Amino acid sequence: MIENFDPIDANGYLVEFSEKAYNSLNAIISKGEYSSMFILVDSNSGNLCLEYFLNKLNNPKDFRIIEVKAGEEYKSLSTCDFVWRYLSENAADRKSLLINLGGGVISDLGGFVASTYMRGIDFINIPTTLLSMVDASIGGKLGIDLDNLKNQIGVIANPCLVVIDSHFLKSLPDNEFLSGYAEMLKHGLIKNEKYFESLINHNFLTDKTLIEGYIHKSITIKNNVVKKDQRELGERKLLNFGHTLGHAIESFFLNQKKESKLLHGEAVAAGMILESFISFKVTGLPLKQANYIASSINKLFAKIQFSRQGIISIIDLIKHDKKNIKGKNNFTLLLKAGDATINNTVSSEIMQSAFDMYEAS
């Protein structure tokens, strides 16, 4: 469990750590201002995390549990409809509280449900995966997918509190751990080269608790960006590095019933390699550095095999990217490790060449 880390002051809420965070959580609840309280889990967090979390609450019997199916394919309007109806049928009103206990899907979907139910009720995030700790639960982006297109429906709204407890990582499978690790690598590549180097030179899979200080660092990097630009009009676009192609790759595999599904971080890892090669072509990232980034990430993540038709389909999916403006795509690219630039338009031909370089890397 993370100890002795100062709370991080986000946009009107705190990100708190370990027992101090649970003290703050129980203090909020004990004020008695909520008419009813609910905990949203999926089948994974309900099985692996709920009992531990309930033992941290002073009055766990005051909560109703809402469980949904686990997986990106359930980050959908139909799942929202199920949760909205559960809240309505159990007399939730504008003074109700929803606690989101789970990974990125639960943080995204639960926050979206809370922010739209009766035009907004309070919610608190308890991230249980590395991805949700360093990314999904922080920054206020909430939403769901539309026909497997990533995050097409959503709002920006902040939780009342985020509780970071590394205990949950003990039950996290290695592939899920690495999924969050990809986002941390991104933080280094866009803002801090030394941080990127430090991350790739440690083997956190042997002892996941060793990553605790890095979690605080990654949250700090993301929070510093978001506080300057919560609505993504400028600097927050830096956080999209690896995600333009990464989201397209993730959406493509969600649509392929015969293909194995990719975790978000696995798709983003490939996206960062591809967009590093695009950076070489477009923004002058030295080829030596692009190859170094690719080899470093390839040591951690299995390379994805793309068919020629698959590549064409992935590039075509870019036209649905929510960052597009007036029909033009919008990439965040690297000038060098630790320094990124926003608002870059990339041709299909350059994207195709990046896939060729990825295959050869």
Tell me, yes or no, if 119 is annotated catalytic: yes
Beta bridge pairs of residue 41: 67
DSSP string, 175-194: HHHHHHHHHHHHHHHHH-HH
- Cα 61 to Cα 15, 53, 92: the distances in Å are 25, 12, 16
DSSP string, 72-87: GGG-SHHHHHHHHHHH
Token reading at 318 = 């870019």
Q: Residue 61 and residue 43: Cα distance in Å, rounded?
A: 20
Q: Residue 89 and residue 67: Cα distance in Å, rounded?
A: 15
Tell me, yes or no, if 257 is annotated catalytic: no
Catalogue the E-assigned strands of the chain: 8-9, 14-17, 37-42, 63-68, 97-102, 122-127, 141-146, 149-156, 161-164, 331-336, 339-344
Tell me, yes or no, if 141 is annotated catalytic: yes
- The one catalytic residue in 75, 187, 222, 281 is 222
Over its C-alpha atoms, the chain yields an Rg (Å, rounded) of 20
State the Cα angle at 135 between 236 and 154, rounded to 5°.
70
Token reading at 59 = 């009055």
- The one catalytic residue in 67, 183, 212, 275 is 183
- The one catalytic residue in 232, 250, 266, 275 is 232
- The one catalytic residue in 150, 186, 216, 264 is 264
DSSP string, 35-84: S-EEEEEEHHHHHHTHHHHHTTSS-GGGEEEEEE--SGGG-SHHHHHHHH
- The one catalytic residue in 148, 240, 329, 330 is 240
Tell me, yes or no, if 264 is annotated catalytic: yes
What are the backbone angles phi and psi of residue 342, rounded to the nearest 5°? -105, 170
Tell me, yes or no, if 236 is annotated catalytic: yes
Tell me, yes or no, if 240 is annotated catalytic: yes
What are the backbone angles phi and psi of residue 63, rounded to the nearest 5°? -110, 140
Token reading at 33 = 């201002």
Q: Residue 333 and residue 70: Cα distance in Å, rounded?
A: 32
Cβ-count burial 255-285 (b if 16+ within 10 Å, e if not): eeeeeeebbbbbbbbbbbbbbbbbbbbbbeb
- The one catalytic residue in 187, 247, 281, 323 is 247
* Positions marked catalytic: 119, 141, 183, 222, 232, 236, 240, 243, 247, 264
